[in-house]
């Protein structure tokens, strides 16, 4: 199949594109190479993808409507996988305009081209952050999500709602994935996993927020990709829910699906696994809660499992070791 993937130089997009290429799909990647973090890391990811004759790419911003239009016109995708976004909860407090441009204007440009080209399935990356102050545990896709805590989560929820409108008006079969604390090799330098390993190896303190009283539903990247690959071939159909817990819209071929294993892990247990994998204790700098953060995330995997027969299950002991191994090899640490 012809799969257009936005964000192929990013963490999730790189891993997904590599899997799709390995499965024999043709992939066009779109990425703006935004210097939110080390662009060399992004270029190294693209260099690996470039080794496949099935991969092509276009470096442009999502906000650049003519470039996005040209990419769709050139490639004529059968599947559109929209992963690119301005990510990060805390950065939205520093540079809010970047979230409006990428997550709203950029996503609008993707939706407009899907309206024109009518792919078989549009899948879009959202986030567990949309649950905000409304989160019960485990979080279910039918939650109202009316009280976001950051601009990042607000823009992602708005993206979901824009996509629902397009699905209803233009009959674009659409699935929005809500990711839960993705981690693994080639991960983003702004994420906790990367920061902890980097600091421990450099004998620098790690910042432990809310004095360690945090839980996260960590999702290993291979599990995340497996879920996406299974779901991308299962476009929603109007009036065909899989059960009473399905998030399928009553008026559009549109559904939201959590991608998480439903296994919240204590932050200090996660740190302990990192210390074990590195063979060195962390110097811990205990701090209060960060603005806009939440104490806990935990996915309900019920809908994902009903649709695909799969739920993320890689133990953090395995995932952490794989990340540390990659980090040491890549940075020669």
Question: What contacts 24+ positions apart, CB below 8 Å, involve 250-254?
Answer: 251/168, 252/164, 252/167, 252/168, 252/174, 253/167, 253/171, 253/172, 253/173, 253/174, 254/163, 254/164, 254/167, 254/168, 254/173, 254/174, 254/175, 254/176
Q: List the Cα angle 266/299/308 in 5-degree steps.
A: 130
**Hey, what's the torsion of the CAs at 47, 124, 299, 215, to 10 degrees?**
50
- Phi and psi at 222, nearest 5°, equal -65, -35
Other CB atoms within 10 Å distance of the CB of residue 18? 20
- DSSP 8-class letter at 212: G
Exactly one of 152, 166, 254, 327 is catalytic; name it.
152
Q: Which H or E run includes 207?
A: strand 206-208
Is 183 considered catalytic here? no
Q: What is d(CA 25, CA 309) in angstroms, rounded to the nearest whole number?
A: 23
Strand bridging mode 182-183 / 79-82 = unpaired
- Phi and psi at 198, nearest 5°, equal -55, -45
Task: Report, as residue numbers or ranges, the catalytic residues.
Answer: 152
């Amino acid at each position: 199949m012809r799969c257009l993937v936005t964000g192929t130089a990013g963490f999730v997009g790189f891993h997904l594109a590599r899997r799709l290429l390995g499965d024999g799909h043709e992939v066009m990647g779109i990425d703006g190479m935004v210097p939110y973090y080390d662009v060399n890391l992004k270029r190294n990811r693209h260099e690996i993808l470039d080794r496949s004759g099935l991969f092509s790419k276009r470096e442009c911003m999502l906000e650049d409507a003519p470039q996005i239009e040209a990419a769709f016109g050139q490639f004529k995708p059968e599947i559109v996988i929209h992963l690119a976004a301005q990510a990060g909860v805390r950065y939205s407090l520093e540079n809010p305009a970047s979230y409006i441009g990428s997550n709203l204007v950029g996503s609008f440009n993707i939706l407009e081209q899907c309206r024109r080209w009518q792919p078989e399935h549009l899948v879009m990356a959202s986030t567990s952050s949309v649950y905000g102050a409304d989160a019960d545990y485990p979080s279910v896709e039918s939650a109202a999500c009316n009280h976001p805590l950051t601009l990042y989560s607000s823009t992602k929820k708005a993206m979901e709602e824009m996509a629902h409108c397009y699905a209803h008006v233009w009959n674009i079969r659409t699935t929005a994935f809500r990711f839960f604390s993705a981690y693994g090799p080639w991960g983003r330098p702004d994420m906790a996993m990367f920061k902890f390993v980097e600091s421990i190896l450099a004998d620098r303190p790690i910042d432990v927020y809310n004095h360690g009283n945090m839980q996260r539903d960590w999702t290993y990247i291979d599990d995340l990709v497996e879920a996406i690959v299974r779901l991308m071939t299962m476009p929603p159909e109007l009036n065909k829910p899989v059960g009473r817990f399905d998030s399928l819209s009553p008026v559009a071929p549109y559904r939201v699906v959590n991608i998480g294993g439903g296994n919240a892990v204590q932050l200090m247990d996660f740190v302990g696994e990192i210390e074990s994998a590195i063979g060195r204790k962390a110097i811990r700098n205990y701090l209060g809660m960060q603005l806009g953060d939440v104490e806990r995330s935990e996915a309900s995997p019920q809908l994902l499992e009903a649709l695909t027969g799969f739920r993320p299950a890689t133990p953090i002991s395995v995932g952490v070791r794989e990340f540390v191994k990659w980090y040491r090899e890549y940075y020669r640490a």
